[in-house]
């Protein structure tokens, strides 16, 4: 797969030193699941298995889609439902602007034993999530202000379930015949491996309108071409749900400029996430990507079907970044990507690549 610029060195039982071109940093956590809390209190888990180098990052609660968030925002009638609506709204926003965090880390296709883990949610986590989603505080819970405490306890139960599931997760080894074909950059083998590991499927958690079509460049077999279709009008949240400084619940419509800015952040994160996934799950070095928006025009009632991003990402470039701290907008703007965007007018059509 070429020179790997990111390397993790174990210094102790729960401490890793992360090396990259831009510097070094530390991460802490138990084997198989590392948890962190950002400045706003959002929890995040890096899921994987010790010794395999296989992991991916999942923010808690990112399955909150626009329709779910809007429904909760409109129907919140008490303080608990309002707090839940704000949380659902924030999770949906986070999901759409952090799609890049969901991509697989780069597989080592030069290894004698190519290994992988699948992304299915474990049985204990499924059970804990169902219990969390079904939680409805009683009148006395709200009266005695126990609702938030019980909800937090159910959230912690989900993390405990994730940890237990990951301890029992199976590490798979690619069959020698398939591994040999992957090393030869055979398109059929790469397509088989993508399906085996569930390549690209994880992004469906974040938006309902995303679809993909990929192909390997057989004549110049170091590139994968990915065509992505999305519908920004369908997936981007066009309101602001919050508890104001005065403690009042607010659900307001976004301005056109603010909506366009959200769309821009989403497209940049989507482009980076898809390109990273494409290069992580194949032994290829370049990803050519086109993103087409099919939003319906309010003026004509017709889908736009316009390519709004076209460009190229290089594996060596992407392997330099710390995905937990990077800004996808800055990465995309520094890449070989064509976009025509302004805050006032949004996106304009560009020529596709590949």
Please give the chain's pLDDT, 354 residues, in tens. Answer: 222 233 333 333 333 333 333 333 333 332 333 333 333 333 344 434 333 333 333 444 445 577 888 888 898 888 878 887 887 887 788 778 888 888 888 888 888 888 887 777 788 888 887 887 787 777 666 656 677 778 778 878 877 887 787 777 788 899 999 999 999 999 999 999 999 988 998 887 777 788 989 998 755 558 999 999 999 988 898 998 888 888 899 999 989 999 999 999 999 999 999 999 999 999 999 999 999 999 876 666 677 789 999 999 999 899 888 887 888 899 999 999 999 999 999 999 999 998
Classify residue 160: in a domain, yes or no.
Answer: no
> In this structure, is residue 330 part of a structural domain?
yes
Predicted pLDDT at 36: 36
Distance CA 175, CA 268 (A): 36
pLDDT of residue 299: 61
Q: Within a domain: residue 320?
A: yes
CA distances from 275 to 196, 268, 311 (A): 18, 11, 10
* Overall domain count for the chain: 1
* Ramachandran category for residue 309: left, alpha or beta (phi over 0 → left; psi -120 to 50 → alpha): beta
- The gap from C-alpha 42 to its chain's centroid, in whole angstroms, comes to 15
Domain-located, residue 339: yes
pTM: 0.76
Res 172: pLDDT: 86
Domain membership flag for residue 161: no
Residues 106 and 319 sit within 8 Å (Cβ to Cβ): yes
Containing structural domain, residue 20: 7-122+169-348
Which phi and psi angles does 189 have, rounded to 5°? Answer: -65, -40
| Distances in whole angstroms, Cα of residue 174 to Cα of each of 32, 181, 197, 218, 237 | 21, 11, 11, 22, 41
- So what's the pLDDT on residue 12? 34
Asked whether residue 207 is assigned to any structural domain, the reply reads: yes
Write down the pLDDT at residue 167: 76
Does residue 258 lie within any of the structural domains?
A: yes
Question: Is 128 part of a structural domain of the chain?
Answer: no
């Amino acid at each position: 797969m070429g020179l790997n610029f990111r390397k993790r060195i174990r210094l102790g039982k729960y401490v890793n030193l992360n090396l990259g071109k831009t510097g070094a940093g530390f991460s802490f956590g138990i084997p198989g699941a590392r948890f962190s809390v950002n400045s706003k209190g959002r929890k995040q888990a890096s899921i994987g298995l010790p010794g395999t180098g296989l992991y991916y990052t999942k923010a808690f609660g990112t399955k909150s889609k626009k329709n779910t968030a809007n429904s909760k925002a409109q129907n919140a009638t008490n303080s608990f439902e309002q707090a839940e609506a704000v949380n659902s709204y924030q999770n949906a926003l986070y999901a759409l602007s952090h799609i890049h965090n969901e991509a697989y880390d780069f597989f080592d296709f030069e290894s004698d034993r190519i290994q992988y883990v699948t992304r299915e949610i474990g049985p204990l986590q499924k059970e804990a999530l169902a219990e969390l989603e079904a939680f409805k505080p009683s009148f006395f819970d709200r009266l005695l202000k126990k609702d938030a405490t019980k909800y937090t306890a159910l959230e912690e139960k989900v993390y405990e379930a994730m940890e237990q599931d990951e301890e029992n997760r199976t590490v798979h080894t690619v069959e020698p015949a398939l591994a040999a074909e992957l090393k030869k950059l055979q398109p059929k083998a790469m397509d088989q491996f993508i399906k085996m590991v569930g390549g690209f499927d994880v992004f469906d958690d974040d938006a309902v309108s995303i679809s993909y079509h990929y192909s390997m460049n057989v004549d110049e077999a170091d590139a994968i071409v990915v065509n992505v279709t999305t519908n920004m009008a369908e997936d981007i949240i066009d309101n602001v749900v919050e508890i104001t400084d005065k403690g009042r619940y607010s659900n307001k419509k976004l301005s056109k400029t603010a909506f366009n800015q959200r769309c821009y952040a989403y497209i940049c994160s989507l482009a980076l996430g898809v390109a990273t996934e494409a290069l992580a799950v194949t032994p290829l070095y370049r990803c050519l990507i086109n993103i087409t928006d099919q939003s319906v025009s309010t003026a004509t009632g017709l889908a736009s079907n316009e390519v709004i991003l076209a460009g190229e990402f290089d594996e060596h470039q992407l392997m330099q970044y710390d995905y937990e701290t990077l800004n996808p907008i800055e990465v995309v703007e520094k890449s070989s990507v064509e976009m025509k965007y302004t805050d006032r007018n949004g996106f304009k059509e560009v020529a596709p690549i590949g």
